[in-house]
């Protein structure tokens, strides 16, 4: 998220040097001014003795004269006029040193004329003669500030930041009531990541001007950088309540986004748009937050409005395509995507959207082919930073598609290519390779890859986390726990506690799993995070056969998010597996499948509940579809075996149960359920006996 430019405010609050602020001066029609210029009168106040009281009339006169010279110099490029403008501004400052805005405009004059070196030299010479010359320091500080660079693009001249801070520190020491200089000091300290100093500077502003919006906004940005989004939101809410400008409301919306409260973020942006109804950037932000808060139709309406205003808004067309993809209206999704492609046929994001659409439609082989075509067409010997990042993303997506298609060798090779393109992502690529081998149930290769990656990248969190998960798969629980606990660092502890809960789950150590989930929930700031923890607790209770508690947890998750497909599926499967409330179970699972029609686990659940309802042909169709997506899953083979047996297809049932046992034995040691294996073995043995009897009866005359 782009964060507001820390230097914003300086640009907004100052008029350009060629404009006289009407709140400070009269218009150019002043007779005295016209007469003075007509007769070429020199700077009347230039000879005013130092140390006398401010002569505001003389300051005004010289400021106005300097202004005119500056305008004429800008039009003609005449150096002599520029020099006269500078002299007049300096005379104005000498007549009234408190008129700090003149120093600002003088710095603008130097900057826009490209004579910065001259300005710096003059200011430094003046300070050598009089270190207490605050206006020379203001001029110098503002020039240094303008030379800092672009804070949002991360192009910062740290030396200029340091020099500017030094000048503003001396200015505020000499003039403790200079609010604008305190503000600039706060902004510069924020750029330098000196959070304590930035907060102190903003606090000084608020002592002088308790309602200062810039200071409160600046403090909020510092708190946001420190990860204290709640404190940032509280401050910005005060700003918005006091003076709900588009700027303050937008800043508050961005903090709500950090808190993942997208509904409130959208509400703030709606209010901002009431003040700036034609602001397309705000509309894009609003549409995105509406989408993130599951207000899909409202989001779609905003994007459609953007297209009406600008039919060439390819970003809006792309988002419309993604929304229709989410709504599973693939015809309209392709229509919007095609329009975006017409506008920018070489845009990789638009091309990748086609891949995403194919994958969502379950056309995985076509998605792989399309993505490989993009990679082939963009291949180079060397890549720029942006091209390299794009290629890494594309390779990562291709690896995921290969995993989905159970083409594990191709997936591993794709992740190896990621590391070759950018060595900086080699640890992540190694983690993906380990995970791929785990999915392929090739645990020797997974273990070898994990050991090599752990030695090569000993401090990489992702590598260590995946290695620990593999240890848990292999039944090495104590080692897995020890490895994972090393990752507790006070920054990412929620994720670490969840990883520990998963390790204890594999070990069936449910008391310790419960402790880890409780710890993770305490560190979950928003409903989305809590929802995931609650779901895991429901699954834990189900594995403990505490079905009442399990259902309560799944209902809690669904209260937070009624469209939680995982909770819908798990609750429905739990009911179906126990043979109770089968109609309700079918409806729950059907909702999950509607959300993710190509999810093999959900299709298996639907096939199983249909079997329980004695709808055998429908059950067989769903389980066969699930098996196409999850050919290595022992439970799907087992379920299909049950269906075949009840359909009288004994040989087919035997084949499925044999496959189920084979996959149980090939799986991770921690996943091996001896009770389930025994059940499958008994069904297989009984089927073989029945088949033998039927064959024996058939041979008798």
How do residues 508-565 score in pLDDT, each as one tens digit?
A: 999 999 999 999 999 987 787 899 999 999 999 999 999 999 999 999 999 999 999 9
Distance (Å, rounded) from C-alpha 305 to C-alpha 516? 47
Residue 465 located in a structural domain: no
Residue 658 located in a structural domain: yes
Please state the rounded mean pLDDT for residues 268-280: 92
Name the range with the highest mean pLDDT among 113-122, 193-202, 328-337: 328-337
Residue 696 located in a structural domain: yes
| pLDDT reading at 495 higher than 90 | yes
Please state the rounded mean pLDDT for residues 107-121: 67
Cα dihedral across residues 544, 548, 551, 557: positive or negative: negative
Q: How far is CA 578 from the centre of its chain?
A: 41
Give the contacts of 700 (CB within 8 A, at least 6 positions apart). none
Residues 225-246: tens digit of each pLDDT: 787 777 877 777 777 777 788 8
pLDDT band for position 68 (50/70/90)? confident
Helical residues (DSSP H) of 276-363, grouped into ranges: 280-292, 296-309, 314-326, 330-343, 348-360
Residue 242 located in a structural domain: no
Residue among 371, 335, 377, 345 nearest 356 (CA)? 371
Residues 614-655: tens digit of each pLDDT: 999 999 999 999 999 999 999 999 999 999 999 999 999 999
What pLDDT sits at residue 513? 97
Residues 656-682: tens digit of each pLDDT: 999 999 999 999 999 989 999 999 999
- Long-range contacts of 35-39, Cβ-Cβ distance < 8 Å, separation of 24 or more: 36/61, 36/65, 37/65, 37/68
pLDDT band for position 154 (50/70/90)? low
DSSP 3: P
What pLDDT sits at residue 641? 97
Written as six digits, the tokens of 174 are: 């000499």
Cα dihedral across residues 537, 538, 543, 549: positive or negative: positive
- Residue 449 near residue 434 (C-beta atoms within 8 A): yes
| pLDDT reading at 216 higher than 90 | no
Distance (Å, rounded) from C-alpha 487 to C-alpha 495? 10
- Residue 340 near residue 318 (C-beta atoms within 8 A): yes
Residues 390-409: tens digit of each pLDDT: 999 999 999 999 999 999 99
| pLDDT reading at 28 higher than 70 | no
What pLDDT sits at residue 432? 96
Regarding pTM above 0.95, the answer is no
What pLDDT sits at residue 150? 56
pLDDT band for position 439 (50/70/90)? very high
Residue among 60, 81, 80 nearest 72 (CA)? 81
Please state the rounded mean pLDDT for residues 296-301: 96
Residue 92: which region, alpha, beta or left (left: phi > 0; alpha: psi -120 to 50)?
Answer: alpha
Residues 307-356: tens digit of each pLDDT: 999 999 999 999 999 999 999 899 999 999 999 999 998 888 999 999 99
Crossing angle between the packed helical segments 195-208 and 179-191, to the nearest 10 degrees: 160
Residue 676 located in a structural domain: yes
| pLDDT reading at 15 higher than 50 | no
The alpha-carbon radius of gyration of the chain (Å, integer) is 35
Phi and psi for 171 in degrees, rounded to 5?
-65, -50
Please state the rounded mean pLDDT for residues 128-151: 76
Angle at 513 between CA 507 and CA 515, to 5 degrees: 150
Collapsing DSSP to helix, strand or coil, 294 comes out as: coil
Collapsing DSSP to helix, strand or coil, 351 comes out as: helix
pLDDT band for position 36 (50/70/90)? very low
| Strand positions, DSSP E, 574-614 | none
In this structure, of 418-427, 661-670, 689-698, the range with the lowest mean pLDDT score is 689-698
- Residue 73 near residue 81 (C-beta atoms within 8 A): yes
| pLDDT reading at 146 higher than 80 | no
Strand partners, 325: none
Strand partners, 150: 155
Name the residue with tokens 């004429």.
Answer: 72
Collapsing DSSP to helix, strand or coil, 344 comes out as: coil
More confident residue, 198 or 482: 482
What pLDDT sits at residue 51? 44
Q: What is the mean pLDDT of the chain?
A: 85
Q: What is the CATH number of the domain that holds 685?
A: 1.20.58
Strand partners, 148: none
Strand partners, 155: 150
| pLDDT reading at 152 higher than 60 | no
pLDDT band for position 2 (50/70/90)? very low
Percent of the chain past pLDDT 90, that is, above it, reads 56
| Strand positions, DSSP E, 265-309 | none
Collapsing DSSP to helix, strand or coil, 525 comes out as: coil
pLDDT band for position 566 (50/70/90)? very high
Number of H helices and number of E strands within the chain?
37, 2
Q: Which range marks the domain in which residue 644 is found?
A: 632-701
Please state the rounded mean pLDDT for residues 473-484: 95
- Rounded (to 5) percent helix, strand, coil in the chain: 75, 0, 25
Q: How many domains does the chain have?
A: 1
Strand partners, 156: 149
Distance (Å, rounded) from C-alpha 615 to C-alpha 67? 88
- Residue 108 near residue 91 (C-beta atoms within 8 A): no
């Amino acid at each position: 998220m782009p964060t507001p430019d820390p230097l914003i405010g300086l640009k907004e609050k100052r008029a350009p040097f060629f404009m006289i602020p009407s709140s400070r001066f009269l218009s150019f029609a002043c007779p005295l001014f016209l007469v003075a210029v007509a007769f070429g009168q020199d700077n009347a106040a230039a000879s005013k003795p130092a140390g006398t009281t401010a002569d505001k009339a003389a300051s005004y006169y010289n400021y106005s004269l300097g202004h005119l010279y500056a305008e004429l110099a800008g039009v003609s490029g005449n150096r002599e006029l520029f020099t006269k403008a500078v002299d007049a501004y300096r005379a104005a400052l000498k007549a009234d040193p408190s008129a700090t805005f003149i120093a600002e405009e003088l710095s603008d004059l130097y900057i826009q004329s490209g004579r910065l070196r001259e300005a710096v030299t003059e200011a430094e010479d003046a300070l050598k003669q009089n270190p207490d010359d605050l206006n020379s320091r203001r001029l110098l500080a503002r020039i240094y500030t303008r030379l800092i660079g672009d804070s949002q693009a991360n192009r910062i001249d740290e030396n200029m930041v340091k020099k500017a801070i030094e000048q503003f520190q001396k200015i505020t020491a000499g003039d403790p009531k200079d609010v604008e200089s305190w503000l600039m000091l706060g902004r510069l300290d924020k750029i330098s990541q000196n959070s304590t100093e930035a907060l102190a500077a903003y606090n000084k502003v608020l002592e002088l001007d308790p309602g200062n919006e810039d200071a409160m906004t600046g403090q909020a940005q510092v708190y946001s950088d420190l990860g204290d989004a709640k404190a940032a939101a509280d401050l910005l809410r005060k700003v918005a309540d006091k003076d709900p400008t588009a700027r303050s409301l937008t800043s508050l919306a961005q903090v709500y986004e950090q808190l993942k409260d997208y509904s409130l973020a959208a509400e703030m942006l709606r209010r901002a748009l009431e003040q700036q109804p034609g602001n397309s950037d705000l509309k894009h932000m609003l549409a995105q937050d509406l989408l993130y808060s599951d207000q899909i139709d409202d989001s779609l309406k905003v994007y459609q409005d953007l297209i009406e205003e600008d039919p060439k808004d390819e970003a809006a067309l792309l988002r419309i395509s993604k929304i229709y993809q989410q709504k599973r209206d693939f015809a309209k999704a392709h229509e919007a995507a095609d329009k975006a492609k017409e506008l920018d046929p070489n845009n990789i994001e638009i091309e990748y959207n086609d891949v995403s659409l194919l994958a969502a439609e379950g056309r995985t082989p076509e998605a792989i082919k399309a993505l490989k075509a993009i990679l082939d067409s963009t291949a180079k010997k060397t890549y720029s930073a942006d091209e390299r990042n794009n290629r890494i993303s594309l390779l990562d997506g291709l690896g995921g598609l290969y995993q989905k298609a159970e083409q594990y060798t191709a997936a591993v090779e794709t992740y190896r290519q990621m590391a070759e393109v950018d060595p900086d992502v080699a640890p992540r690529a190694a983690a993906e390779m380990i995970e791929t081998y785990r999915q392929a149930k090739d645990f020797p290769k997974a273990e070898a890859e994990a050991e090599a990656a752990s030695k090569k990248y000993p401090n990489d969190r992702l590598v260590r986390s995946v290695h620990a998960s593999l240890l848990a798969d292999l039944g090495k629980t104590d080692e897995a726990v020890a490895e994972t606990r090393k990752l507790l660092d006070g920054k990412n502890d929620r994720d670490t506690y969840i990883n520990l809960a998963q390790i204890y789950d594999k070990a069936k150590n449910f008391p310790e799993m419960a402790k880890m989930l409780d710890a993770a929930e305490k560190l979950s700031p928003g409903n989305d995070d809590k929802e995931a923890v609650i779901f895991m607790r429901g699954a834990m209770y189900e594995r403990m056969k505490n079905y009442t508690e399990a259902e309560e947890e799944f209902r809690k998750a669904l209260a937070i998010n009624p469209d939680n497909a995982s909770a819908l599926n798990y609750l429905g499967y739990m009911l179906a597996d126990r043979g109770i409330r089968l109609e309700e179970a079918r409806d729950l699972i059907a909702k999950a499948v509607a959300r993710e029609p190509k999810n093999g686990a959900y299709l298996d659940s639907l096939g199983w509940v249909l079997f329980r309802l004695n709808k055998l042909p429908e059950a067989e169709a769903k389980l066969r579809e699930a098996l196409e997506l999850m050919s290595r899953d022992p439970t799907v083979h087992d379920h299909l075996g049950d269906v075949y047996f009840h359909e009288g297809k004994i040989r087919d049932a035997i084949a499925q149960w044999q496959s189920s046992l084979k996959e149980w034995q090939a799986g991770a040691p921690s996943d091996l359920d001896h009770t389930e294996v025994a059940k499958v073995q008994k069904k297989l043995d009984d089927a073989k006996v029945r088949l033998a009897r039927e064959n024996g009866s058939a041979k008798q005359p």
